[in-house]
Structure 1
Amino acid sequence: MITLREGFEAALVIAIVLSFLDGTGRRGWFRAVWLGVAGGVVVSLLVAIGLFAVGAELEGRSEEIFEGTVMLVAAALVVWMVFWMRSRSRTIKRELRERVDDAVTHGSALAVGLLAFAAVLREGVESALFLVGSVGDSNPVVAVVSAALGVAAAVALGYVFYRGAERLDLRRIFHVTAVVLVLVAAWLFSGGVHELSEAGVLPESEALSAVAFLALSLPALYVLLLHDRLRTRLAHVPRDA
């Protein structure tokens, strides 16, 4: 789920960029985009390998503090990413096209390539943090296969968007995945609190992890599931009702 959502956000950016270049007769600039994508993937993999290597070298209390900190940072990034994309889902297509148009106007293939690089790198680094925090003692083969399936699904969705952008309901996709990711974030937050408790940084308490899970998930789910519905209903109520 993590790599599906993160990968799709990157694939969405690339699809919009390629679609705009294709529509303006600049397919020759595709090479710059794919070079940017390749660079972002390579740097993201290096970051992921580095994080996993650091975690593998640590033992005892240091390992617990490292894992707990990574989990908390990952949880914060998940929540930020969910609500940032929620606020930008209506305008991201227009904004990206304006940025590509500006780069094309100034004849800068490098700017287009850097846009693709930044999109992939941001989502790749976030995915690396999430995976380091969530994999833990899981079977590494299962973790790699599931992450690869998420990336493959994200690429497929990106291709569908590229081929028929107007027919893909982005808001519905982001809404469904947002709910799942909020629960993932709450689980990561709870796990981080648990690791720091075991390390002695926080008080030892089984209830603390449960409280942490509820403290993050309930407000976030309220905003995602209920707040918007209430605003929509109120907006349709006649003023003199």
Structure 2
Amino acid sequence: MFESFLPSFLITFREALEAALIVAIIVSYLQKVGKSKLSRYAYLGSGAAILLSIVIGILVQSLYGGLSDVVAQLFEGIASLTAVAVLTYIIFWMTGHSKRITGELHDKIDVAISRNELYSIASLAFVAVFREGLETVLFLSTLFIQDTAGTLVGVIAGSTVVLGLAVLLIRGTYKLDLKKFFGYTSILLVVFAAGLAGYGVHELIEAGEGMGVGFGVLGEKPYDINPPLNPDGSYPLLHEKGVLGSILKALVGYDGNPEWLRIVVYLGYWLIIGSYVYRSYRAPKIEGTPEPPDISVKNVE
């Protein structure tokens, strides 16, 4: 129990913080240009997005509850790989937009104000928050299946911490370097995505075998490092079903006896996407290139 707390907390924290950053940029800029009263439209859009994300999450879990074992494995595998695809897209998006996101949002807000299109302000907040909410539903769907209580506590804890940070951001008492934020969280996303990719492949292999599909050598397990059960029948600490092993499994995709295909996919993702992230954020700084701005509500440019 609660082996999914840490990964669900980190995922929720990361996704909710990005949404909070965008809403903070919108609200702070409205304050700067003397349109503070329009901030309520940003809050309305955010609230609607949160409610819709919760409804979708409930529907996904309800759908899963009525599936047979093989179909459930297919669902978990497809959901995991879909989440990997979305995570990968986010990683590429962040490397290209981390320096421009503030300016792009300001331009859109200026257009909305000039045209008196108040719904556009609500839409900006809605799209930003709903995108992160939908991504969170995708990422956490398999964790909810494995450990509902731990995942739920992690979601609540992550959301609570971000809510506190959002208040500080809007009041201008906390600054956040966007480049560093996106850089560090990109590494975190690679960790999650590699683990999800391996888990998704594992579930698809099990579903295929349940339907009589063979995978040859790719479905074979080259080793098994899971320690034997304790004398009382409980799982040892480092067993993939033990306390620490379960946390590592949910967090980084640890598996004591993985299939060859899972190993190839896991290492391949790290090699390709991990090296891309490393090159993107370790690139030498060109002389004269300005530093990315800090996010501070009282100092929005």
Q: TM-score, normalised by structure 2?
A: 0.73
Could you say what secondary structure the match of 1:87 adopts?
Answer: helix
Larger Rg computed on CA atoms: 2
| Letter of the 1:191 counterpart | Y
Q: How does 1:25-174 map to 2 (within 5 A)?
A: 25-138=34-147, 140-164=148-172, 167-174=175-182
Gap change, CA 1:165 and 1:193, over 3 Å in 2 = farther
Q: Structure 1: which 5+ residue stretches go unaligned?
A: 237-241
List, as ranges, runs of 4+ consecutive aligned residues in structure 1 with deviation greater than 6 Å.
Answer: none
Provide the residue aligned with 2:264 in structure 1. Answer: 211
Q: What is the distance in 1 between the residues matched to 2:266 and 2:280?
A: 20
| Letter of the 1:116 counterpart | A
Q: What is the distance in 1 between the residues matched to 2:165 and 2:89?
A: 23
Q: Matched residues, percent identical?
A: 33
Q: Structure 2: which 5+ residue stretches go unaligned?
A: 1-9, 221-258, 288-301
Provide the residue aligned with 1:239 in structure 2. Answer: none
Greater alpha carbon shift after TM alignment, 25-34 vs 96-105: 25-34
Gap change, CA 1:141 and 1:197, over 3 Å in 2 = same
- How far did 1:109 drift? 1.2
Provide the residue aligned with 2:190 in structure 1. Answer: 182
Task: Confirm or deny: 8 A CA contact 1:89 1:170 kept in the other structure.
Answer: yes
**Alignment root-mean-square deviation, CA:** 1.9
The structure with the largest helix share of the pair is 1
Task: Confirm or deny: 8 A CA contact 2:16 2:162 kept in the other structure.
Answer: yes
Could you say what secondary structure the match of 2:137 adopts?
Answer: helix
Q: What is the distance in 2 between the residues matched to 1:178 and 1:99?
A: 26
- Point out which structure has higher relative CO (alpha carbons under 8 A, 6+ apart): 1
Task: Confirm or deny: 8 A CA contact 2:183 2:281 kept in the other structure.
Answer: no
2:284 corresponds to 1:232: yes
| Letter of the 2:16 counterpart | G
Q: What is the distance in 1 between the residues matched to 2:199 and 2:144?
A: 11
Q: What is the distance in 2 between the residues matched to 1:5 and 1:184?
A: 12
| Letter of the 1:170 counterpart | L
Deviations 1:57-83 (A, max 9, x none): 112111111110000000111111122
- How far did 1:162 drift? 2.8
Q: What is the distance in 1 between the residues matched to 2:158 and 2:184?
A: 15
- How far did 1:151 drift? 1.9
- How far did 1:16 drift? 0.6
2:273 corresponds to 1:220: yes
Could you say what secondary structure the match of 1:90 adopts?
Answer: coil
Deviations 1:143-172 (A, max 9, x none): 111112222233333333333389321211
